[in-house]
Amino acid sequence: MPMRKIRVHVENLRARPGIYHVTPERWSAACARHRAQGRRIEASFGWDGETLEDALKDAEIVIGLRSRLGRLAERAPRLKWLHATLAGVDRLFPLDWLPPGAVLTNNHGAHGVKAEQYMHMAYTMLNTRMAEIAVNQHARRWRQVFSPSIIGKTALVVGLGDLGQAAVRAAKKLGLRVVGVSRSGKRVPGVDTAHKGAALDRLLPAADYVVMAVPLTPDTRNLLNRARLDLLKPAAGVINIARAQVLDYDALAGKLGRGELTGAVVDVVDPEPLPPESPLWETPNLIITPHISCDDGEHYVDISLDLWFANFARFLEGKPLRNRVDPRRGY
């Protein structure tokens, strides 16, 4: 007797860059990598919500959620599992729209490899004062900007999840001392010391690099605010691979403009896309990357689907799902 197939609906947005599209081709390739699980699925694919209403009628699992959905208990009576193909699900909060019987998971684990590589770059670019060197190149100006060794400097990594641990690994490979801060204060591999958030103000003055790697929640909004930025030493650098709203960009730009910080590398800004008239573009010693730090430009969907299929195997076995978003914790 053939086993019952699970109805999975995959939803995509055409406006998103192609690297994020869970196309039927990528889906089939993932099913081929996870044969036993793939056989259990009856999949449908939709774009820009065009077929969503119909799909919700019998979908048990929806992949690709990007925004809050209303009246789901009515619209999707069989829905058991919603999967967001992103790690930062802040835009889905509060979760009051989620039906009681349904679970929301995020894409935790898909970002660490690329994030570590970005962090190698961010630490070394800050230490080498590459922003200044790039300005000199643009001005056709040969000026030797020397820099000390990065070994022994202190990285203060705020948030020790997937991204934070990537920042820790990169720091250790470069020979930095690593101080970690997280909600739990628990040690993760590579940190020299770990602390709860309450210790942040005490830790900031000793940091050579502050790395923001926290999810955006009410607790972390504006966490690195003006007063905390003022606790940093002038030789310090700031890196943000989390969400723009965890850091006061006005205060950061002011400090960079006055030379009160060595530099900053930010992969996130508010709003995105950053409009041409934003003064951030020309803030001295600020390097802006266009939200590309953590997503594999070649295999993001493959990586994400591999994680999802591993979770789907648990679903089939009736085990609790991994990467469940906690409505109270906020991520």
What distance in Å separates the CA atoms of residue 310 and residue 293, rounded to the nearest whole number?
A: 24
Q: Which of residues 264-323 bind its own copies (CB under 8 A)?
A: 272-274, 276-278, 281-282, 287-292, 295-299
Nearer to its own copies, 78 or 299 (CB): 299
Q: How far is the CB of 151 from its own copies (least distance, A)?
A: 7
**Of residues 44, 51, 124, 154, which one binds its own copies by CB under 8 A?**
124
Report the sign of the C-alpha dihedral through residues 184, 308, 212, 164, in that order.
Answer: positive
For residue 126, give the nearest of 194, 184, 180, 176 by alpha carbon.
176
Give min distance, CB of 225 to its own copies, in A.
25
Give, as ranges, the residues between 174 and 213 that touch its own copies (CB under 8 A). Answer: 174
Q: Is 136 helix (H, G, I), strand (E, B) or coil?
A: helix
> Judged by CB, which is closer to its own copies: 291, or 324?
291
Among 74, 141, 189, 218, interactor with its own copies by CB under 8 A: 141
Write the CB contacts of 17 (distance below 8 Å, at least 6 apart in sequence).
Answer: none
CB of 314 to its own copies, least distance (A): 26
Check: CB of residue 65 under 8 Å from CB of residue 88. no
Name the minimum Å distance from CB 147 to its own copies. Answer: 5
* The pairing of beta strand 263-266 with beta strand 286-288: parallel
Closest distance of CB 259 from its own copies, Å: 18
Q: Is residue 113 at the binding interface for its own copies, with CB under 8 A as the rule? A: yes
Query: What is the smallest separation between the CB atom of 165 and its own copies, expressed in angstroms?
Result: 16
Minimum CB distance to its own copies, residue 193 (Å):
23
Q: Which is nearer to its own copies, 98 or 166 (CB)?
A: 166
Q: Is 185 exposed, middle or buried (0-12, 13-18, 19+ CB in 10 A)?
A: middle
Give the binding-site size for its own copies (rule: CB under 8 A): 51
Tell me the torsion sign for CA atoms 193, 196, 199, 203: positive
Burial of 25 (0-12, 13-18, 19+ CB in 10 A): exposed
Of the candidate spans 44-52, 83-91, 140-148, 199-207, the one that interacts with its own copies by CB under 8 A turns out to be: 140-148
Tell whether the torsion through CA atoms of 208, 212, 213 and 214 is positive or negative: positive
Return the exposure string of 205-225: e unless at least 16 CB atoms fall within 10 Å of the residue's CB, then b: eebbbbbbbbbbbeebeebbe
Within residues 142-171, the interface with its own copies by CB under 8 A covers 142-151
In the complex with its own copies, the residue whose CB is nearer, 219 or 302, is 302
In the complex with its own copies, the residue whose CB is nearer, 96 or 277, is 277
Task: Give the nearer residue to its own copies in terms of CB position, either 6 or 119.
Answer: 119
Please say whether the beta carbons of 38 and 60 come within 8 A: no
Q: Which of 39, 173, 196, 314 binds its own copies (CB under 8 A)?
A: 173
Give least dist CB 127 to its own copies, A.
7
Strand partners, 180: 157, 194
By CB under 8 A, name the binding residues for its own copies: 17, 19, 113-114, 117-118, 120-121, 124-125, 127-128, 130, 133-134, 136-138, 140-151, 173-174, 272-274, 276-278, 281-282, 287-292, 295-299
